[in-house]
């Protein structure tokens, strides 16, 4: 009996020894996970890597909803770790669970490692990957349900009463801090609840600030405001009245560093002041001069005067300051506009030292009205200055051609008819200015010929094509002062010689101006004379209005050379003149010739 017991005990010991040896050696030989190894609380001992992978996919629970996020109003949102961007790195995780007892150490060192594992089981954490943007996207979605903007306190006008509404706090999901708090719960198993981090958002404009602004607004809107012109000039507009309703429409509450101030919408106030600025604008008047050749000095023939303009920016500040203080009579802020050329400007400052060019034309045979208009038109240019680099515009200096400006009615050509009109003879002035600019050598950038030949412009030996016409504002005469010196224009009208002159004073650049032509092509004969009926003429009489003119094409050329003879400018002015029939006016009882073209008969 004893022998049997001994044999049995020996067998058990032997079998245990064999099992222990297998436990220590077997997994190392067959590639299985060491017994006692678990992933979190998931036992994987004895499993192959392939078996462990299937078990991990099935049991890890990343897709199980277990994370409860609590909102500020009792809301609950439940997510799985996968919903928030967590996934397992399977290869790294399996490498982690197979590592115990499978190191590349020596055999007996591995046996020691396995023996230690036998004494204390080992729990391994999975290798998780967090796609941060997925969680960020989910929290951004929650923020749309949680966030509430703060509401500023508000001042408004209810009829004639200034009222206000209190402010309200807002709130905002603090996504960054919430993610920091959430991250540890994503990496461990189990259900977890956590509150979202929500921070309050204060209004920019609180109740206390609005109460102060409310008092200011009530002062501003207490009564109409009147805008006054200080030291008004004759003809000044104003005053202007702004009703409380108009003021309230422009009122604005400005918040700077948490402080509220009552002011005005600058764009609205500037728009209101724009027409006032136009009405108050007074341009400065430049002095006009004559050049005294003997002394070489400028003599003031027309003094300068200071202008005035509305200072819009300063006026806006002034309106706000006065009304905020409860003062409703507000003086506008004006600023001086200085003339470019004053009574003390000298010839040396402007570079006016000598006569550099003369343009002239003759008007013998003109009617008294045409003669008068030439004198008035010429006076508009006497004493003006053209600065270096500036463009001279005949129309700009001429201004309006009206009876109010001193012009008489004379005959002018409109279309193919000769009719009474204001300012006949102004083209004589333009032609004279053109000739002065031509001989001065300035670049001429706009010049228009007449549609037909005018005898006045060929007097004094000037051939056809040395003229210039203007018709404001479409047809102009323009040239550029491309020198570093000012140009002073003086005009003269000689009653005896019936001559108009433009004299240009400046500093000579040594330019040489060569005139070529004008040359004319073959003439085109005019048609039959034109007789226009005029009931105001005595019975049986007629009056010659316009002599006949041939049509032709004329070409005038100019070459401008510098002091060394280098060509600066080559100009070619082409004039296409249409044939122009003789024109008459005739009274009742007169019978025009049989070949005449008769117009205007009743």
DSSP 428: H
pTM: 0.60
Contact 85, 95 (CB under 8 A): no
Average confidence (pLDDT) over 153-179: 83
pLDDT at 114 over 80: no
Pairing of strands 583-586, 530-533: parallel
Structure tokens at 387: 């600065």
For residue 19 the two structure tokens come to: 């099992």
* pLDDT confidence tier of residue 281, bands split at 50, 70 and 90: very high
Residue 6 has pLDDT above 80, yes or no: no
User: In this structure, are residues 538 and 520 in contact, taking their beta carbons and an 8 Å threshold?
Assistant: no
532 and 454 in one domain? yes
End residue of a domain, out of 337, 366, 391: 337
Residues 352 and 410 in one domain: yes
Element (H, E) at 255: strand 251-256
437: burial class by Cβ within 10 Å (0-12, 13-18, 19+)?
buried
Consecutive H or E run containing 164: strand 161-165
Compute the mean pLDDT over every residue in the chain, rounded to the nearest whole number.
Answer: 87
Which phi and psi (to 5°) does residue 480 adopt? -110, 135
Say if 140 falls within a structural domain: no
Read off the pLDDT of residues 101-111 as tens digits, 9 standing for 90 and up.
776 555 566 66
Q: What is the CA radius of gyration of the chain?
A: 51
| Token representation of residue 581 | 């029939």
Both 259 and 375 in one domain: the answer is no
Residue 205: band (very low, low, confident or very high) from pLDDT cuts 50, 70, 90: confident
What pLDDT is stored for residue 28 in this prediction?
47
CATH number of the domain residue 311 falls in: 3.10.20.800
Report residue 19's pLDDT band, with 50, 70 and 90 as the boundaries. very low
Residue 483 DSSP one-character state: S
Q: Does one domain contain both 240 and 326? A: yes
Residue 14 has pLDDT above 60, yes or no: no
CA distance 578 to 553: 9
Distance of alpha carbon 67 from alpha carbon 183, whole angstroms: 11
Q: Among 158-162, 496-500, 523-527, 551-555, whose mean pLDDT is lowest?
A: 158-162
Same domain, 353 and 291: no
Is the domain of 320 the same as that of 369?
A: no
Tokens representing residue 418 in the block: 């000769």
What are the tokens at 429? 């002035």
Same domain, residue pair 446 and 531: yes
Q: What is the mean pLDDT of residues 246-264?
A: 78
Asked if residue 146 is part of any domain, the answer here is no
In a domain, 87, yes or no: no
Residue 258 included in any domain: yes
Judged against a pLDDT cut of 60, whether residue 160 lies above it is answered with no
pLDDT in the model for residue 100: 77
Compute the average pLDDT of residues 219-233: 92
DSSP per-residue string spanning 376-419: HHHHTTTTEEE-TTPEEEHHHHH---SGGGTPPEEEEEETTEEE
pLDDT at residue 57 in the model: 76
Quick check: is 24 in a domain? Answer: no
Of the residues 337, 363, 388, which one is the last residue of a structural domain?
337
Q: What is the DSSP letter of 539?
A: T
- Range with the poorest average pLDDT among 314-323, 386-395, 412-421: 412-421
For 46-103, what is each residue's pLDDT tens digit? 888 888 888 887 778 888 899 999 999 999 999 999 999 998 888 888 888 888 777 6
Do 294 and 387 fall into the same domain?
Answer: no
Identify whether the C-beta of residue 483 lies closer than 8 Å to the C-beta of residue 400: no
Is 121 among the domain residues?
no
Do 310 and 374 belong together in one domain?
A: no
If pLDDT is split at 50, 70 and 90, which confidence band does 533 have?
very high
Q: What are phi and psi of 201, to 5 degrees?
A: -120, 115
In a domain, residue 199? The reply is no
Q: What is the DSSP letter of 601?
A: -
Q: In Å, how far are 49, 553, 555 from 521, measured between CA atoms?
A: 110, 5, 9
Q: What was the pLDDT predicted at 413?
A: 63
Instruction: Kindly state the average pLDDT of the residues 103-122.
Output: 65
Residues ≥6 apart with Cβ < 8 Å to 103? 109, 110, 113
Tell me whether residue 356 is in a domain: yes
CA distance 210 to 215: 9
Residue 12's pLDDT band (boundaries 50, 70, 90)?
A: very low
> Is it true that the peptide bond before 473 is cis, omega within 30 degrees of 0?
yes
Which range has the worst mean pLDDT, 52-56, 67-71, 279-283, 352-356?
52-56
- Report CA-CA distances (Å) from 379 to 65, 468, 489: 97, 18, 11
Residue 26 has pLDDT above 60, yes or no: no
One domain for residues 243 and 384: no
Work out the pLDDT band at 357, boundaries 50, 70, 90: very high
Q: What's the CA gap between 339 and 122, in Å, rounded?
A: 97
Please say if the pLDDT value at position 263 is more than 50. yes
Longest dimension (CA), the chain: 180
Residue 466: in which H helix or E strand, if any?
A: none
Kindly list the distances between the CA atom of residue 442 and the CA atoms of 356, 436, 479, in Å, as whole numbers in the listed order. Answer: 11, 9, 6
Can you list the alpha helix ranges (DSSP code H) found in 150-236? Answer: 175-186, 207-220
Mean pLDDT is highest, among 20-29, 153-162, 446-455, for 446-455
Q: What is the pLDDT of residue 162?
A: 74
Q: Which two tokens stand for residue 599?
A: 């117009």
pLDDT confidence band for 408 (50 / 70 / 90): confident
331 bridge partner residues: 228
pLDDT tier for residue 29 given thresholds of 50, 70 and 90: very low
The tens digit of pLDDT for each residue in 480-522 reads 999 999 999 999 999 899 999 999 999 999 999 999 999 998 9
pLDDT over 90, % of the chain: 59
Asked if 276 and 318 count as a contact pair (C-beta separation under 8 A), the reply is no
What confidence tier does 418 reach under pLDDT thresholds 50, 70, 90? low
Closest CA to 363 of 417, 415, 430: 430
A 10 A CB-CB count for 265 gives 14
Q: Which of 296, 358, 348 is nearest to 504 (CA)?
A: 358
Number of domains in the chain: 2
Residue ending a domain, choose from 304, 337, 370: 337
- The per-residue DSSP string of 317-385 comes to HHHHHHHHTT--EEEPPEEEE--SS-TT--HHHHT--EEEEEEEEE-TT--HHHHHHHHHHHHTTTTEE
Q: Which two tokens stand for residue 225?
A: 């405001």
Q: Are residues 487 and 540 in the same domain?
A: yes
Co-location of 326 and 366 in the same domain = no
The share of the chain scoring above pLDDT 70, in percent, equals 89
pLDDT digit string, tens, across residues 443-485: 999 999 998 888 899 999 898 999 999 988 889 999 999 999 9
| Residue-range definition of the domain harbouring residue 226 | 208-337
- pLDDT computed for residue 421 by the predictor: 73
């Amino acid at each position: 009996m004893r022998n049997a017991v001994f044999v049995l005990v020996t067998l058990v010991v032997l079998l245990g020894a064999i099992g222990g040896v297998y436990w220590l050696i077997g997994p190392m030989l067959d590639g299985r996970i060491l017994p006692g190894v678990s992933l979190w609380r998931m036992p994987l001992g004895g499993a192959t890597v392939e078996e462990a992978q299937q078990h991990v996919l099935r049991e890890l629970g990343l897709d199980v909803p277990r994370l409860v996020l609590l909102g500020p109003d009792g809301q609950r949102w439940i997510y799985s770790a996968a919903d928030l961007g967590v996934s397992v790195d399977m290869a790294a995780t399996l490498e982690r669970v197979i590592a115990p007892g499978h190191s590349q150490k020596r055999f007996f060192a591995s046996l020691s490692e396995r023996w230690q594992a036998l004494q204390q089981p080992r729990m391994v954490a999975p290798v998780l990957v967090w796609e941060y943007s997925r969680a960020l996207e989910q929290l951004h979605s929650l923020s749309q349900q949680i966030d509430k903007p703060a509401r500023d306190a508000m001042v408004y006008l209810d009829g004639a009463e200034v009222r206000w509404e209190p402010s309200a706090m807002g709130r905002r999901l603090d996504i960054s801090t919430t993610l920091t708090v959430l991250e540890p719960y994503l990496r461990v198993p189990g259900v977890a609840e956590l509150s979202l981090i929500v921070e309050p958002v204060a209004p920019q404009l609180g109740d206390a600030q609005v109460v102060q602004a409310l008092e200011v607004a009530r002062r501003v809107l207490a009564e109409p405001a009147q805008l006054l012109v200080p030291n008004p000039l004759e003809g000044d507009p104003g005053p202007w009245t702004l009703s409380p309703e108009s003021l309230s429409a422009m009122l604005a509450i400005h918040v700077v560093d948490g402080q509220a101030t009552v002011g005005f919408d600058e764009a609205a106030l500037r728009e209101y002041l724009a027409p006032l600025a136009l009405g108050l604008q007074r341009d400065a008047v430049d002095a006009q001069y004559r050049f005294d050749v003997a002394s070489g000095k400028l003599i003031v023939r027309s003094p300068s005067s200071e202008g005035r303009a509305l200072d819009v920016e300063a006026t806006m500040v002034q309106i706000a300051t006065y009304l905020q203080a409860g003062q409703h009579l507000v003086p506008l802020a004006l600023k001086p506009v200085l003339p470019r050329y004053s009574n003390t400007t000298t010839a040396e400052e402007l570079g006016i030292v000598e006569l550099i060019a003369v343009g002239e034309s003759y008007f013998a045979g003109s009617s008294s009205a045409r003669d008068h208009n030439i004198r008035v038109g010429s006076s508009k240019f006497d004493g003006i200055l053209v600065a270096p680099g500036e463009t001279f515009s005949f129309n700009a200096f001429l201004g309006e051609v009206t009876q109010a400006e001193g012009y008489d009615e004379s005959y002018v050509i409109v279309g193919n008819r000769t009719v009474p009109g204001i300012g006949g003879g102004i083209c004589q002035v333009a032609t004279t200015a053109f000739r002065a600019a031509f001989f001065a050598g300035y670049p001429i950038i706009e010049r228009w010929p007449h549609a037909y030949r005018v005898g006045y412009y060929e007097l004094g030996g000037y051939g056809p094509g040395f003229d210039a016409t203007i018709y404001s504002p479409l047809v102009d005469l323009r040239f550029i002062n491309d020198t570093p010196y000012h140009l002073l224009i003086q005009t003269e009208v000689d009653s005896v010689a019936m001559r108009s002159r433009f004299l240009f004073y400046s500093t000579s650049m040594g330019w040489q101006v060569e005139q070529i032509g004008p040359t004319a092509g073959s003439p085109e004969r005019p048609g039959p004379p034109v007789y226009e009926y005029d009931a105001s003429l005595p019975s049986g009489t007629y009056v010659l209005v316009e002599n006949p003119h041939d049509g032709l094409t004329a070409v005038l050329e100019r070459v401008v050379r510098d002091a060394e003879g280098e060509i600066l400018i080559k100009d070619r002015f082409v004039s296409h003149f249409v044939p122009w029939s003789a024109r008459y006016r005739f009274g009742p009882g007169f019978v025009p010739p049989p070949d005449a073209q008769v117009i205007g008969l009743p």
